[in-house]
Amino acid sequence: MRLFARSRLPDAGTGYAGPPASAMHGRAAEIADAGAVPWEVLWEALKLPAPDPSDNGLAAELGLRDEDWLDPAFDIGGTRMIGVRNSRQVEIRMGHTTRGLNVGGVQITWVRAATQPFAVTADDGALVADDAAVANLVSGFAPSRAWDDMVLSGGDEGVVARRPISMRGQQAGWVYDLWLCERLAGALGTALPVADLDDAATPYDMG
């Protein structure tokens, strides 16, 4: 048991002195540590150079489209953003949970690139991995509230991050998770064929 509470980490991007958001369009690959970057800078960096001009939804800037989604096992509704980014299928699910008796909103980010099995957790803002290659990729990240309550798994169905939607958490957490999942998928994974995920359960019991 802790005798003294740790001081709360500052918001993600506090003290950021890099280029402004307007100069970071499409430059996500140049970001070394997303947890050190403000949300608006990361959002601009994740935008695709030429999104679909026929889709004026906010997610279209990221090459994704918005749809309703219904968990086929539990009839719990939510929304999702789906598409293909950097030759990898992406699905982001929000607002549902199927974890036993736990009831609450979640943000789930799924990048479909097969990897060796691994897991990442956040410990007081620091990312801790159970795999040496993954640990090497995240070892230089500074502790950050960007990773509040995030857990992540990789395997033969892709790289999946999950976090609850909570008042104290990072409400735009899926944006940070998308950057991290894509970074790990790009370094360690092989893109899977695009599949119909309408009735697909979230991998690794992360739903």
Ranking 16-30, 140-154, 156-170, 176-190 by mean pLDDT, the lowest is: 156-170
The whole-number pLDDT of residue 87 equals: 95
Task: Decide: 142 and 37 in contact? Cβ < 8 Å.
Answer: no
User: Domain ranges in the chain?
Assistant: 21-192
| Residue 144 CB partners (closer than 8 Å, separation 6+) | 9, 12, 33, 35, 36, 125
Length of the chain: 207
Sign, Cα dihedral of 25, 26, 32, 35: positive
The whole-number pLDDT of residue 191 equals: 98
Q: Which residues of 42-74 are buried (b: 16+ CB within 10 A; e: fewer)?
A: bbbbbbbeebeeeeeeebbbbbbeeeebebeee
Ranking 5-9, 138-142, 191-195 by mean pLDDT, the lowest is: 5-9
Dist CA 103 CA 118 (whole Å): 26
* Per-residue model confidence as pLDDT tens digits over 24-52: 999 999 999 999 999 999 999 999 876 56
Number of H helices, E strands in the chain: 3, 9
| Percentage of the chain exceeding pLDDT 70 | 81
Instruction: Identify any residues that bridge with 78 across adjacent strands, giving them in sequence order.
Output: 69
HEC readout, 46-75: HCCCCCCCCCCCHHHHHCEEEEEEECCCCC
Dist CA 182 CA 185 (whole Å): 5
* Per-residue model confidence as pLDDT tens digits over 62-113: 999 988 776 655 566 678 899 999 999 999 998 866 555 555 788 999 999 9
The whole-number pLDDT of residue 105 equals: 81
Dist CA 11 CA 115 (whole Å): 31
